C-alpha cells in the first residue's frame, strides 16, 4: 500500500477507488466497497479492500454534508456528489459504520500496517472522526 497520510484518501488504493467512483451514477459502487469488507466476516481483511471501504465511508459522510479534510482527491468526490445528487439511505449509513468497525477488528491487514507505524494513534483518531461524521 502506498500511503502518505492516515486520512481517508491518503493512499493509492483509495485514490484508485475514487477514480472508479467518478464513472458511477449512484451509490451502488460505494455499497459494493462497504459490502466487500463486511462480507469478510472473521476472515483476514486485505488492506486494499479496507482502504476502498474507508474511502466509501468518507463518501457517505460527505454526502450528508459532513466534510472532513479538503484536498485534490476530496474535491473530486465533492464534485461527483454535486453531479449525482444522491443521499445515503439509513441502510448505507449503517453499512459504512459496520465496515469501519470491521477494519479495526482483527484480522485486518490495514490495522496491522498502521499499528506498525508511528502514526497508529493518528490513524485511529481519523477513523473515529470519520465514524462520527458518517452518523447513526
Q: How confident is the model at residue 113 (pLDDT cuts 50, 70, 90)?
A: very high
Distance CA 86, CA 114 (A): 32
pLDDT of residue 88: 97
Distance CA 20, CA 22 (A): 5
Residue 42 in this model has a pLDDT that exceeds 70: yes
Give the domain ranges of the chain.
12-134
**In sequence order, what DSSP letters do the residues of 20-64 get, joined into one string?**
HHTT-SSTHHHHHHHHHHHTTTTSPBPHHHHHHHHHHHHHHHHHT
Dump pLDDT digits (tens) for 2-33: 788 999 999 999 999 999 999 999 999 999 99
Residue 1 in this model has a pLDDT that exceeds 60: no
Distance CA 81, CA 123 (A): 25
CB atoms within 10 A of CB 123: 22
In three-state secondary structure terms, 11 is strand
Dump pLDDT digits (tens) for 79-110: 999 999 999 999 999 999 999 999 999 999 99
Work out the mean pLDDT of the chain and round it to a whole number: 95
User: What share of the chain has pLDDT > 70, as a percent?
Assistant: 99
Amino acid at each position: 500500500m502506498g500511503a502518505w497520510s492516515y486520512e481517508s484518501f491518503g493512499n493509492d488504493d483509495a485514490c484508485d477507488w475514487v477514480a472508479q467512483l467518478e464513472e458511477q451514477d449512484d451509490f451502488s459502487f460505494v455499497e459494493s466497497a462497504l459490502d466487500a469488507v463486511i462480507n469478510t466476516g472473521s476472515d483476514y481483511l486485505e488492506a486494499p479492500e479496507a482502504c476502498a471501504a474507508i474511502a466509501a465511508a468518507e463518501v457517505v459522510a460527505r454526502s450528508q454534508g459532513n466534510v472532513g479534510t479538503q484536498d485534490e482527491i476530496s474535491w473530486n468526490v465533492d464534485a461527483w456528489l454535486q453531479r449525482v445528487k444522491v443521499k445515503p439511505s439509513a441502510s448505507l449509513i449503517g453499512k459504512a459504520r459496520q465496515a469501519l468497525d470491521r477494519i479495526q477488528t482483527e484480522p485486518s491487514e490495514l490495522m496491522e500496517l498502521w499499528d506498525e507505524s508511528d502514526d497508529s494513534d493518528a490513524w485511529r483518531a481519523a477513523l473515529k472522526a470519520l465514524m462520527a461524521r458518517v452518523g447513526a
